[in-house]
Structures are given as C-alpha cells and as structure tokens.
Amino acid sequence: MITNGRSLTLRSYAKINLFLDVLGKRPDGYHQIRTIFHEIKLHDTLNFTLTKKSSLKILTNTDFVSTRKNLIYKVAIFIQKRYNVDYGVEIKLEKNIPVAGGLGGGSSNAAATIKALSEIWELSLTPEEEHNIAKNFGSDINFFLLGGTALGEGRGEIITPLADIRLDNLLLVKPSLGIFSREAYHLVKPVGSHNQSWREITSGFKPEMCFNRLQSGICQSYPEIERIIDQLLEQGAIHSLLSGSGSTVIGFFRDQVSTQRAAEFFSGKNYWNCITQTKERSTK
C-alpha cells in the first residue's frame, strides 16, 4: 500500500568525459559519437515526497530553468501517464552542478527521477524499462542509470560498462558563460580521421590520452575557455581539456597541494571551481 508523505532522497552525480570523438552526422540530425563517461563526486541532491494529489511540484534552490522545461518534470509526467499513476510527488532539488557546463547535471537529475519514482510509486521498473524511458529524453541519461565508467556510442545512449578509473586530484573550472549541446556540436570541426586513443584509456589510463573533438571549435568561438585550459597547465596540471559539450574545463593534477593552489588561483579570478574525484559504480 502506498503511504502519503513517504519520501526518498537521492544524490545525483555529475560526470566528466575522458574522451569524446564525433564520428559523423546521422540521418536523424544527431551526431554519431564515441565517448568515455566517468561519474564524479560532485552532486545535486533530490528529495522526493509522495503526495495523494496527482500534481507534480518541483522546488529548487536556484531559478535555473522553468519547471515545465526541466527534465525532471518531463520525465515525471511521462512516467505518471505511461503507468497510469494516480499519485503525485513533490521534488526538492538542491542544485550544485553548473548548468550548461558539460557535466550532465540535467541528465543525472532525470536518471535519479526515474529510479526514485520507480520506488516511491511502487512501479518496480526493470533496468530495461528504465533505459527505454531514458532514451526519450536525452543521450546521457542512460549512462547515469548505470554510473561509474562507461563507453557511450550512437548518440551516447548505447552504454557499455568499463572498469572504473580512480582519479583523485581533479579541478573543474567554469567561466560564467554556458554552452548548450546543440551549439557545441554546431561548432565542431570537420572530422578527418577518428581518434583511437579511447582504446588505450580503457587499458592503461594516462591524463594525456584524454581528448575532446568539440574543444577546438568551442575554443575558437570562446577564447576564454582556451585561456582557462592554458592557465590550468601553467598552474601545474598534467593535462587539461573541455568536458563534454559544455563550458567546464578539467585539470588533472598530481597531488592535493597543487590542486588546491590552482583552485585558489581561479577563485581569485572569480571562476566557479570545484576539486573532486571520480566515483566508482554503485553496487546497489
């Protein structure tokens, strides 16, 4: 029996892309990609409370997007209608992952919503059902249903689990500007040959192997991002690159001291930054 007021709290983790290559344009208008995702410990927090009224309500600590355009809302409405759910839910979102930063915050929130509603509405969705729902709303959501490290192919929705890679000294830096996926892929440079370093990443990771095909086009349009990449290297990063299709840059550092020093440098320039680590795939 479903009890009114029952609640569930989930962490919704961000991701970085250790590798992202664009293989070509698809007939459906999307780009064919090959990417290696890795969850990181930076996260949003979502609290779901069951209500007997069928309405859906989202409360957030930041006014980042209208409710009805939010993936959380779209996914919740979809599940409610598909499974004829008579109950509603109140969702409280504590947002820490930057919007339009290439860290997958919206997709991660959507994946958490699928899992939470399966439990709180007692739907007992199978993994296959969860993934089928996810495919309707974006390319990264399927990854977040799995987590850890994974190869993404197709639009990014075809997910193959990979062995987790432990990285402890990651510095994320984001300027005030945000870049949405559509623009990032519009700016991508023509592909000559495909980068094959993804094979090596899965067997013997080194930061220098990381690659993002979207980076050159974005840096040409947004020189500030290229400056951040260069400044991370000047601050001692082993390697730095753009994460995904947003505006966040990743710096890979050797130790905690140099990571902290670099974070203070970027804080002094009023850039959002975050020291984080990779997260292993949950066994739950």
Which of the residues are catalytic? 15, 140
Q: Which two tokens stand for residue 106?
A: 């919206």
Nearest of 249, 251, 163 to residue 207 by alpha carbon = 251
Contact 246, 178 (CB under 8 A): yes
Cβ within 8 Å of residue 125, ≥6 positions away? 114, 118, 133
Nearest of 217, 271, 224, 277 to residue 245 by alpha carbon = 217
φ, ψ of residue 102 to 5 degrees: the values are: 80, 20
Distance separating the N- and C-terminal Cα atoms of the chain: 24
Nearest of 175, 169, 148 to residue 239 by alpha carbon = 169
